Amino acid sequence: MMKQILMGAALALAAAGTVSAEGQTYVFQAGHPSLKGWLLPKTAPYPESNKPNAARIDLGHKLFFDPRLSGDGNMSCATCHNPSLGWSDALPTAKGVKSMVLGRASPTIINTAFNTTQMWDGRKKDLEDQAMGPMEANVEMNMDTAKLFQWLNSNDGYKALFAKAYPGEPIDASTLSKAIATYERTTAISNNSPFDKWLKGDKRAMSAQQVNGFKLFVGKANCAVCHAAPNFTDNGFHNLGLASFGVAEPDMGRYAQKPIKLMKGAFKTPTLRDIERTAPYFHDGSAKTLMQVVEHYDRGGEVTTNLSPNMKPLGLTQQEKEELVAFMKALTSPFIKVVAPDLPL
């Protein structure tokens, strides 16, 4: 009897729509038009000067996997952004030149093509802008780029590939960046998860537990305020109160780019699509599991110095935490099979 009354109330609420924490009115039914803001476009946006085509994807694919783009000839883009490990590296923080442990986690490349800012601190604006960064960084791939372009310009295989991809353009930082960016924005895409299928109307794509998790995600748990539609990011910067901000000289994050107090210890909101594949979590790799992530938010953070005002203790029950984790696992698209490319010698 009690259950029936509750169900009746829930149905009435569903029909009227629920206002989410980020101010949207949703009806939580598969395929409901109120949810279409969460659907990603079929393809990622690209700059006018770099329209994707087969030759550009092919060249970018080769460059992405070529370790000769690093100073020691042993690190490619795929070393830290490994497609088999969610386009990341499964390490808490990245390992750079000669396995030097770096300060921040390798971010996944999944769906970064949809974002308006790149890197944990947002210092690069798009994928083209970002591509040369790791090669040039002496703690990362540590490449002498003058030597790199000398070599590429003397390699018959690459000369033919560049000529096909960017006819009439030189082999330089611009064309190399454009090719890598094209590969990333056409390949590292997650937009066919159970959640996406549910959005498009497949009732069975998500379990009741996962739908409840989505309700919490946009409601009580306050997640969608930052992990916003459609790519689960607001392209913004927030201090999450991680324990690592409590050390003597913490990583200031975005503050180094924008010296505004709120940005001290703030890092970019990453996408959550394919999140199940990109453990460990946070920019410092401090959470091993999605449950640990949820528990961090439930506590409202560890270190309250300069904490994002959007953070507050959530009071989630164990069941609610499990629902949130189950929902995040509904954001995993079928695995993208990536073939190791035949590199020009």
Q: Using CB under 8 A, pick the residue from 254, 273, 283, 329 that binds another protein.
A: 254
Minimum Å distance from CB 344 to another protein? Answer: 39
Q: According to the binding rule CB under 8 A, does residue 259 interact with another protein?
A: yes
Q: According to the binding rule CB under 8 A, does residue 235 interact with another protein?
A: yes
Minimum Å distance from CB 136 to another protein? Answer: 23
Cα–Cα dist 165/218, whole Å: 43
Q: According to DSSP H, which parts of 153-244 are helical? A: 156-165, 173-187, 194-199, 208-218
Least Cα distance to 109 among 44, 161, 53 occurs for 44
C-alpha count within 13 angstroms, C-beta hemisphere, residue 62: 18
Query: Measured from the CB atom, is 175 or 239 closer to another protein?
Result: 239
Query: What is the CB neighbour count within 10 angstroms for residue 249?
Result: 5
How far apart are the two ends of the chain, measured CA to CA in Å?
74
Taking CB under 8 A as the binding criterion, the range among 9-17, 90-98, 136-144, 251-259 that sits at the site for another protein is 251-259
Q: Using CB under 8 A, pick the residue from 14, 21, 173, 303 that binds another protein.
A: 21
How many chain residues bind another protein (CB under 8 A)? 24
Minimum Å distance from CB 106 to another protein? Answer: 22
Least Cα distance to 141 among 250, 67, 210, 199 occurs for 67
Residue of 140, 184, 320, 323 marked catalytic: 140
Q: Using CB under 8 A, pick the residue from 66, 140, 234, 251 that binds another protein.
A: 234
For the question of residue 249 being annotated catalytic, the response is no
Minimum Å distance from CB 35 to another protein? Answer: 17
Taking CB under 8 A as the binding criterion, the range among 96-104, 161-169, 241-249, 254-262 that sits at the site for another protein is 254-262
Which residues have a Cβ under 8 Å from the Cβ of 335 and sit 6 or more positions away? Answer: none
Which residues have a Cβ under 8 Å from the Cβ of 241 and sit 6 or more positions away? Answer: 296, 300, 301, 302, 303, 304, 307, 308, 311
Q: According to the binding rule CB under 8 A, does residue 116 interact with another protein?
A: yes
Query: Measured from the CB atom, is 145 or 306 closer to another protein?
Result: 306
Q: According to the binding rule CB under 8 A, does residue 122 interact with another protein?
A: yes
Taking CB under 8 A as the binding criterion, the range among 101-109, 236-244, 316-324, 335-343 that sits at the site for another protein is 236-244
Question: What sign does the CA torsion over 255, 283, 188, 164 have?
Answer: positive
Q: How do strand 267-268 and strand 237-238 relate by DSSP bridges?
A: antiparallel
Residues lying near another protein in the complex (CB under 8 A) are found at 21-23, 116-117, 122, 225-226, 234-238, 254, 258-263, 266, 308-310
The catalytic residue positions are 140
